[in-house]
């Protein structure tokens, strides 16, 4: 029977050949189809670029004489058309520009990435939800403009409900939007631990990033992004916890999950350290150590963890650049442009604030995040 099938004159022989060719075409075309979908958007994003995560371009803006000069210089670029004459309106215009950029990216990208963009926008909206919850729990005046600043319709809806909420009505509202029992329990605990609330909200969104589906050839880039983000946020939370005086047991609870270099055992070593300087020493051997260790004297002198956070942000940008180069034919350049654009807008808002308050160039530079070169 086998001889009959292998006989060229047999219909079964040609059917087998066609089936094999079809199988090979499917195997070859699947990754090729994914790559083709990224050719145009990645080329577009790289052509636009991210000039305002580099010192040279930022210095020109920092040295602007006033807000009008800043706006004029920025609006020469086709990708920036900001409006306003004061710090509030200019910063709001920059935020709107970021929203439009992300919308453009989503429209130019494969539909298979739309859910990823949704989760990314949830991450951006999270700061608004944190602000709203803190206002409710502390009894301070609520910001009526929060919903207008949100990226996603569901966030706008939630913020409108939170605007009318009280401490007693928070639990059912948040439960309806999928927030965890852990968060709800923190919200009804007196006195509220705002630091732990922030941590739990970030943990919620990071879990969404882990679970979101992307094209299979993009999974490596997404995983590397998530793991680097976990590293950075774990270190930030641990250093903040040490700075505000959390004890060792409490510090050990501030673990968001294992990243690229920060395994649980290393995090525990950091948590068991007596202070921030020794916590950083526990990172020796990781790529984050040298840059953080260089800033310890500044921290000792000034007593602010901001210097460490800016350093971590610079390292994060550097690692995102590495992901872009590693996965240059799929999600890498898209991730780099997206993350860098977020830091660009953050930098520009810092400059606007600094110019408005007439602070020195050095003072503004302290809060600027640029892409680390090494």
Q: Which residues contact 180 (CB under 8 A, 6 or more apart)?
A: 200, 204
Lowest mean per-residue pLDDT among 38-42, 197-201, 343-347: 38-42
Quote the pLDDT of residue 34: 59
Quote the pLDDT of residue 31: 52
Mean pLDDT of 18-41: 60
Quote the pLDDT of residue 94: 93
What residue ranges do the domains of the chain occupy?
Answer: 111-214
pLDDT(354) > 90: yes
pLDDT(210) > 80: yes
Question: Dihedrals φ, ψ of 81, to 5°?
Answer: -135, 75
Quote the pLDDT of residue 144: 81
Chain-wide mean pLDDT for the chain? 87
Quote the pLDDT of residue 225: 96
Quote the pLDDT of residue 64: 87
Quote the pLDDT of residue 37: 75
Quote the pLDDT of residue 178: 86
CATH architecture label of 111-214: Up-down Bundle (1.20)
Quote the pLDDT of residue 120: 92
Quote the pLDDT of residue 179: 87
Angle among Cα 100, 105, 109 to the nearest 5 degrees reads: 150
More confident residue, 257 or 39: 257
Quote the pLDDT of residue 26: 47
Quote the pLDDT of residue 76: 85
Quote the pLDDT of residue 29: 47
Report the sign of the C-alpha dihedral through residues 257, 263, 264, 267, in that order. Answer: negative
Measure the CA–CA gap between 152 and 333, rounded to whole angstroms: 24
pTM score of the predicted model: 0.86
pLDDT(342) > 90: yes
Cis peptide before 191 (omega within 30 of 0): yes
Quote the pLDDT of residue 56: 87
Quote the pLDDT of residue 2: 44
Confidence category of residue 23, pLDDT binned at 50, 70, 90: low
pLDDT(114) > 70: yes
Lowest mean per-residue pLDDT among 78-87, 240-249, 332-341, 349-358: 78-87
Mean pLDDT of 120-134: 92
Q: Could you write out the three-class secondary structure of the chain?
A: CHHHHCCCCCHHHHHHHHHHHHHHHHHHHHHHHHHHHHHHHHHHHHHHCCHHHCHHHHHHHHCCCCHHHHHHHHHCCCCCCCCCCCHHHHHHHHHHHHHHHHHHHHHHCCHHHHHHHHHHHHHHHHHHHHHHHHHHHHCCCCCCCHHHHCCCHHHHHHHHHHHCCCHHHHHHHHHHCCCCHHHHHHHCCCCCCHHHHHHHHHHHHHHHHHHCCCCHHHHHHHHHHHHHHHHHHHHHHHHHHHHHCCCHHHHHCCCCCCCCCCCHHHHHHHHCCCCHHHHHHCCCCCCCHHHHHCCHHHHHHHCCCHHHHHHHHHHHHHHHHHHHHHCCCCCHHHHHHHHHHHHHHHHHHHHHHHHHCCCCHHHHHCCCCCCCCC
Mean pLDDT of 188-214: 90
Could you read off the pLDDT of 140-191 as tens digits, one per residue? 877 888 888 888 999 999 999 988 888 888 888 988 888 888 888 888 888 8
pLDDT(32) > 50: no
pLDDT(119) > 70: yes
**Nearest of 39, 41, 50 to residue 108 by alpha carbon:** 41
């Amino acid at each position: 029977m086998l001889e009959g099938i292998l006989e060229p004159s047999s219909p079964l022989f040609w059917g087998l050949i066609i089936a094999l060719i079809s199988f090979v075409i499917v195997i070859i075309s699947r990754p090729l189809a994914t790559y083709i979908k990224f050719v145009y958007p990645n080329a577009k994003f790289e052509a636009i670029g991210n000039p305002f995560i580099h010192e040279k371009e930022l210095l020109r803006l920092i040295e602007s004489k006033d807000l009008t000069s800043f706006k004029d210089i920025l609006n020469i670029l086709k990708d920036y058309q900001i409006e306003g004459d004061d710090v509030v309106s200019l910063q709001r215009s920059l935020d709107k520009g970021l929203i439009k950029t992300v919308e453009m990216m989503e429209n130019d990208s494969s539909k298979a990435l739309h859910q990823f963009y949704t989760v990314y926008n949830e991450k951006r909206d999270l700061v608004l939800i944190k602000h709203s919850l803190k206002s409710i729990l502390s009894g301070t005046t609520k910001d009526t403009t929060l919903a207008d600043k949100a990226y996603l319709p569901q966030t706008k809806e939630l913020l409108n409900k939170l605007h009318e909420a009280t401490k007693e009505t928070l639990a059912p509202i948040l439960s309806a939007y999928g927030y965890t029992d852990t968060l709800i329990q923190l919200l009804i605990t007196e006195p509220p631990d705002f630091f732990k609330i922030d941590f739990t909200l970030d943990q919620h969104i990071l879990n969404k990033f882990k679970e979101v589906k992307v094209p299979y050839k993009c999974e490596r880039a997404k995983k590397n992004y998530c793991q680097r983000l976990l590293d950075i946020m774990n270190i930030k939370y641990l250093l903040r916890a040490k700075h505000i005086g959390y004890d060792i047991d409490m510090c050990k609870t501030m673990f968001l999950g294992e990243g690229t270099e920060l395994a649980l055992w290393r995090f525990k070593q950091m948590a068991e350290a007596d202070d921030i300087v020794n916590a950083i020493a526990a990172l020796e051997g990781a790529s984050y150590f040298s840059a953080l260790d260089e800033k310890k004297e500044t921290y000792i002198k000034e007593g602010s963890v901001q210097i460490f956070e800016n350093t971590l942000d610079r390292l994060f940008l550097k690692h995102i650049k590495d992901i872009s180069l590693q996965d240059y034919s799929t999600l890498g350049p898209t991730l780099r442009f997206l993350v860098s654009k977020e830091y660009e807008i953050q930098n520009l808002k810092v400059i606007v604030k600094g110019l408005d308050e007439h602070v020195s160039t050095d003072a503004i530079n302290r809060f600027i995040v640029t892409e680390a070169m090494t």
